[in-house]
Amino acid sequence: MATTTLQSAKAWALARVQHGVIARWQLIELGFSPAAIRHRISTGRLHPVARGVYAVGRPELSRYGRWMVAVLECGGGAVLSHESAAALWGIREYARRKIEISVPSSARRQRPGIHIHRRSLAAGNFTTHHNIPVTTPVCTLIDLAARLGAEHTERAVNEADKLDLVDPEALREALDETDPRPGVRPLRKLLDHRTFTMTDSENEQRFLPIARKAGLPQPLTQQWVNGFRVDFFWPELQLIVETDGLRYHRTPAQQAKDALRDQTHAAAGFTPLRFTRAQVRYERAHVQRILRDVAARLYSRRSDRLAS
């Protein structure tokens, strides 16, 4: 009796870690006999949700639970991959109907509702996230680059950077250490072309139409103000806008320099605004709204000052 209780405790503990599911082979390893498993199915403690995989306690599964089921169903060495992995990491919404799983190239498994990729992955290409075996962010981005266009790939890289999963510089270095495979070349080309910065002219081409739509006149560009070179400057409003590189998270030293610049401008009576260049590219409506609201406040302040 004590042995059975201990087995059950271990099984339920494992299921909790695995988002409410457990595999038959895991139950066998814990000491459950086939008869004991059948008994728990008949009494409603185990609910078959896939071949050799059970939900524990109740059949309803979360999204994580469904991903975990797919991994367990595909057996040893299986990991969530491609766009399913991207969704787990939070770098891309998942729009495909089938869950994508990578399994060792020697595997010969077909499962309904699962898109299986047969390939051998080195240990450095997979990990766990939310306790689910999954391809690493770098491996996932390479897989995405093999099927997505440059713009969608760049957006995924931006999201990975934003979430502190991998920064573009580290990603570019990792590509040099990665064996040739689909996705490496287009991702390297994207990073080399953009380097996640824009030239001054490219920056202006993207930002100036947004500023115009926000009701702002043509600004001065690349001016020295308060001892700092700024991207965009409206002298009549004492408004300064800086557009940082596509990195969402800058180093502590860069953040300190940015803070010093903004503080110096504010102390001199200017209004400093800072946008990432990713926002300028992908969140134009947000940038335009902020510019419009700040400009309205500054114009009102200027009118009051001239009237007094």
pLDDT band at 305 (very low <50, low <70, confident <90, very high): confident
Q: Kind of pairing, strands 53-56 and 46-50?
A: antiparallel
Is pLDDT above 60 for 198? no
Q: Where are the alpha helices (DSSP H) in the chain?
A: 2-17, 24-29, 34-42, 63-73, 82-89, 137-145, 150-162, 168-176, 184-194, 200-213, 252-267, 277-282, 284-307
Alpha-carbon span 172 to 14, nearest angstrom: 37
pLDDT at 57: 86
Q: Are 118 and 77 in contact (CB under 8 A)?
A: no
Give the pLDDT confidence score for residue 254 in this predicted structure: 74
Quickly tell me which residue has 């030239």 as its tokens. Answer: 199
Task: Say if 17 falls within a structural domain.
Answer: no
Which CATH number characterizes residue 217's domain?
A: 3.40.960.10
Instruction: Kindly state whether residue 135 falls inside one of the protein's structural domains.
Output: no
Mention every residue, 6+ apart, whose C-beta is less than 8 A from residue 253. none
CA distance 241 to 201: 15
Asked, for residue 255, whether it belongs to a domain, the answer is yes
Q: Is residue 38 part of a domain?
A: no
pLDDT, position 177:
85
Residue range(s) defining the domain that contains residue 283:
200-302
Mean pLDDT of the chain: 87
What is the rounded average pLDDT of the residues 216-231? 93
Which residues sit opposite 114 in a β-bridge? 99
Span 176-202, mean pLDDT? 75
Position 85 scores a pLDDT of: 96
Is 210 domain-assigned?
yes
User: What's the pLDDT score for residue 179?
Assistant: 84
Confidence label for 4 from pLDDT (cuts 50, 70 and 90): low
Which H helix or E strand runs over 222? strand 220-225
Examine residue 103 and state whether it is found in any structural domain, yes or no. no
Residue whose C-alpha is closest to residue 171's, from 134, 137, 121: 137
Could you tell me which residue, 214 or 155, shows the higher pLDDT? 214
Q: CA angle at residue 159 from 158 to 162, to 5 degrees? A: 85
Structural domain includes residue 194: no
Report which of 135, 136, 155 is spatially closest to residue 145, judged by C-alpha positions: 155
Distance CA 247, CA 163 (A): 11
Q: Tokens 């962010």 sit at which residue?
A: 137
Q: Widest CA span of the chain, in angstroms?
A: 90
pLDDT digits (tens, 9 = 90+) for 62-96: 999 999 999 999 988 899 999 999 999 999 987 77
Tell me what pLDDT residue 196 has: 47
DSSP class of 195: T
Residue 238 forms part of a structural domain? yes
Q: What is the pLDDT of residues 8-63, one digit of tens each?
A: 888 889 999 999 999 999 999 999 999 999 999 999 999 999 989 999 988 889 99
Two tokens, residue 244 = 């940082």
As a whole number of angstroms, the distance between CA 188 and CA 181 comes to: 12
- For residue 240, name the pLDDT band (cuts at 50, 70, 90): very high
Question: For 114-133, what is the mean pLDDT?
Answer: 91
Asked if 38 and 66 touch (Cβ cutoff 8 Å), the reply is no
Tokens of 140: 């996932």
The predicted pLDDT at position 251 comes to 60
pLDDT digits (tens, 9 = 90+) for 267-278: 999 999 999 877
Yes or no: say if 210 and 288 are a contact pair by the CB < 8 Å rule: yes
Name the domain count of the chain. Answer: 1
Question: What confidence score (pLDDT) does residue 200 get?
Answer: 64
**Distance of CA 221 to CAs 179, 184, 233, Å?**
43, 37, 6
C-beta separation of 109 from 116 below 8 A: yes
In one-letter notation, the amino acid at residue 29 is E
Whether 41 and 52 have beta carbons less than 8 Å apart is answered as no
